[in-house]
A and B are shown apart, each in its own frame.
Chain A
Amino acid sequence: MNWYRQLDRAAIVLGLVSIMSAAFVFVHGTFQLVQIGTVGLVVALVLGLLAIAAGWLAERTLLIAAGVGFLLAATVQLVLLAGGGSGFLGGNASTFSLWLGLGAGLIAIGLVPRPEAIEEASQA
């Protein structure tokens, strides 16, 4: 498999992880890995779908946008936690951790220059 295609597939996997994490809105107790509230559910679904679309279309800008989106959501969740509660996102420090990982991963993949970008840079 083409190496760039493997990068896109990794982005799709990260998007799927985000969408699967939405299931934790229904899970409570011992096996609740992350705490997802109603607004957090929307964040997980929208950004997860964006990451999947970015990987599917091999679109680097979308990949970075999804990654930045997750990092922004993680930062907002952290600020809300500092205020003493879950806030409107409804998450906890585990949610922050998950979104931090998804954001960092998508940005790390998105920062890899693609052949067309390298070609454009060499022509300029």
Chain B
Amino acid sequence: MQSRSCHRGSTGALLAVVRIGVGLLWLQNVGWKTPPNFGRGDPPDGLYLSASYAVSDPVLPPFAWLMERFVLPNFTFFGWMVLLVEAALGAFLVIGLATRFWALIGIAQTVVIALSVLNAPHEWYWSYLLMLLVHVALFATAAGRYGGLDGLLRPEWELSRSWAARWLVRVS
């Protein structure tokens, strides 16, 4: 019995390490998304250059079409969206708040990144697959319940009748 609870404790601690590590990945990498032009210029760099690989080295033709017609011409708006989503991913995965929700957002964002740069020069496609799988693991294990605020605050949310608390119970 004691060894089983020790095992649960160490497994929980390792899940917390994984969640915080993935959060730091987003937190650090949002740093090179630089407004207001996000690298749009001559020559392009930063986020704009990464996004433009979706057109120059297409992975999925419909996605390349979408990027060419809608995203790249309106890049200031989409640059801000990327910055806000990735900053929130870093923020909430590190503290473990609404972790399952943010794990799903992380999966979606990883798919978008992969569809943009998978065929770009010098890319290792397994890195994006690993990113995807680690977010699936965070979702499947509800990783915020281990060393995160989800685990601490869930009892309070479960007692509350507010819509916000009910939503947080579902996404934690």
Residues of chain A whose beta carbon lies under 8 Å from any beta carbon of chain B: 3, 6-7, 10, 14, 32-35, 81-84, 92-94, 96-98, 100-102, 104-105, 108-109, 112
Contact of B149 with A105 in the complex, beta carbons under 8 Å: yes
Decide if A108 touches B35 in the complex (CB within 8 Å): no
Prevailing SS type, chain A contact patch: helix
B94 touches A93 (CB 8 A): no
The dominant DSSP class at the B interface is helix
**Number of residue pairs A-B, CB distance < 8 angstroms:** 77
Q: Looking at the complex, which one of B28, B33, B156 makes contact with A33 (CB distance below 8 Å)?
A: B28
Most B Cβ at <10 Å: residue of A97, A108, A112: A97
Binding site for A on B (CB under 8 A): 23-24, 26-28, 30-31, 33-36, 83, 86-88, 90-92, 94-95, 97, 149, 152-153, 155-156
B27, A33: Cβ atoms closer than 8 Å: yes
**Residue of B28, B33, B36, B91 touching A100 (CB-CB under 8 A):** B91
| Cβ of A25 to closest chain B Cβ, rounded Å | 15
Other-chain residue from B26, B36, B86 in contact with A82 (beta carbon distance below 8 A)? B36
